Amino acid sequence: MTTVHSSSDVRIFHKECQTIAEAGYDVTLIAGRGQAGVAAGVKVRGLGITSRRWDRMTRGLLKSWRMALSERGHIYQFHDPELIPVGLLLKLAGKKVIYDVHEDFAASLREGDREWVPPALKGLLAFIIRAAEQVVVGTYDAVVAATPKIASFFPREKTVLVRNYPLAEELVFHKGKTYSHRPRHAVYAGGISERRGIREMIRAFEKMGRDGEARLLLAGEFSPPALARELRKLPGWEFVDYLGCLSREALAEVLGGVRVGLVLLHPIESYIDALPIKLFEYMSAGIPVIASDFPRWREILTQTGAGIVVDPRVGDEVVAALRWIFTHEEEAEQMGRNGAKAVTQGLNWSGEGKKLLALYDRLLESETERL
């Protein structure tokens, strides 16, 4: 169940729902945005709510509650903090309930990462969400956490760490150009916002653009939408190709034609301990990574030899890393191979999916024992 994410969300649909369905479970995805039907063995039901938050958090919650009950499921897994009350109602109705926590939402609120919340209310709302997660979620049957930091907020005996690693081979584009024949292009694919380093990326390519063919390929949604108009006025925008929101197949094709992937998030609490899927997707596609110098990210890239870390706020470091990648073709190509090998050998969804299935099996065993 999700009121925030679409029915095509990669973690929810392509990984979790499909993994559970392939194991033989009867799976229904209730999503705020999506077409009703059956896809990859998963029944999809759209809530038909608008993108307006008030509509989503009032009519959307009521509709999701009713739709959930109509499914007569044994296990209910939801993905958004706003669904915590619905989860409690489902638990009171005797259902098995799992809260799947993708991010530290309370921290992102405190840091001002939700522009739609009035500044005076962000601290209070962050406190309420953290309290709800600690008190109400304690009544649920399990928590699925996307990172070790998120897992630390919840009871150990109820929490399963299911990291958002990529599907092995999904983004390997076998028709991609030989690395040395690729143009000096970099890619950023994901949510586009100031805190995710978009201005720093554009400034870096303003400098790089003077060196020749260097370009930034940009894919994803702007947050807030008005940010797009501001960015297009920057001098460096002439060195940017905006690709919009890409399908998984189109993203694989883009990754198969560039020399490096960028993950230049700012050093704020909710990002420092995150495990951003784009980092591992770049690795899986066999391209080197330039990432923010956070301890966990530095450890991953150092151990795998898959990329370079920089301070994203220091433009000269970003430019220097790009120039090194573009001028050291053999070493950069080897970084890409190292990343792909690391994903193939363990940093992929296969092991995480097995942990999720083990949780489902355990919950249903306890349900059988109770009956």
- 174 within a domain of the structure (yes/no): no
pLDDT at position 114: 59
Short-list 370, 176, 368, CA closest to 285: 176
3-state secondary structure of 226: coil
Based on the fold, state whether residues 232 and 141 are members of the same structural domain: no
Ranges of the chain with pLDDT below 50: 369-371
Q: How many residues does the chain have?
A: 371
Based on the fold, state whether residues 340 and 353 are members of the same structural domain: no
Based on the fold, state whether residues 227 and 338 are members of the same structural domain: yes
242, amino acid identity? Y
Helices and strands per DSSP (H, E), number in the chain: 16, 14
Max Cα distance, the chain (Å): 71
Question: In b/e form, how buried is each residue of 319-353, taking b as 16+ CB within 10 angstroms?
Answer: bebbbebbeeeeebbebbebbbbbbeeebbbeebb
- 141 within a domain of the structure (yes/no): yes
- Residues 30, 47 contacting (CB under 8 angstroms): yes
Phi, psi of 159 (to 5 degrees): -110, 135
Number of other CB atoms surrounding residue 66 within 10 Å = 10
Short-list 290, 319, 327, CA closest to 306: 290
Residue 323 sits in a domain whose CATH number is: 3.40.50.2000
Report the alpha-carbon distance of residue 296 to residue 25 in Å, rounded: 35
Supply 270's token pair. 């909710």
- Residues 329, 234 contacting (CB under 8 angstroms): no
- 159 within a domain of the structure (yes/no): yes
Based on the fold, state whether residues 192 and 149 are members of the same structural domain: no
Query: Which residues in 220-299 belong to E strands, given as ranges?
Result: 240-244, 260-263, 289-292
Based on the fold, state whether residues 234 and 340 are members of the same structural domain: yes
- 366 within a domain of the structure (yes/no): yes
Based on the fold, state whether residues 7 and 153 are members of the same structural domain: yes
Based on the fold, state whether residues 329 and 235 are members of the same structural domain: yes
Based on the fold, state whether residues 258 and 295 are members of the same structural domain: yes
Based on the fold, state whether residues 71 and 219 are members of the same structural domain: no
- 313 within a domain of the structure (yes/no): yes
- 105 within a domain of the structure (yes/no): yes
pLDDT at position 118: 63
β-bridge mates for residue 28, sequence order: 43
- 44 within a domain of the structure (yes/no): yes
Based on the fold, state whether residues 10 and 140 are members of the same structural domain: yes
- 86 within a domain of the structure (yes/no): yes
pLDDT at position 366: 66
pLDDT at position 262: 98
pLDDT at position 100: 96
What percent of the chain has pLDDT above 90? 71
Based on the fold, state whether residues 305 and 278 are members of the same structural domain: yes
Range of the domain at 265: 179-345
Short-list 53, 321, 314, 312, CA closest to 194: 312
Based on the fold, state whether residues 136 and 89 are members of the same structural domain: yes
- Residues 227, 197 contacting (CB under 8 angstroms): no
**How many domains, the chain?**
2
Whether the model pTM is above 0.75: yes
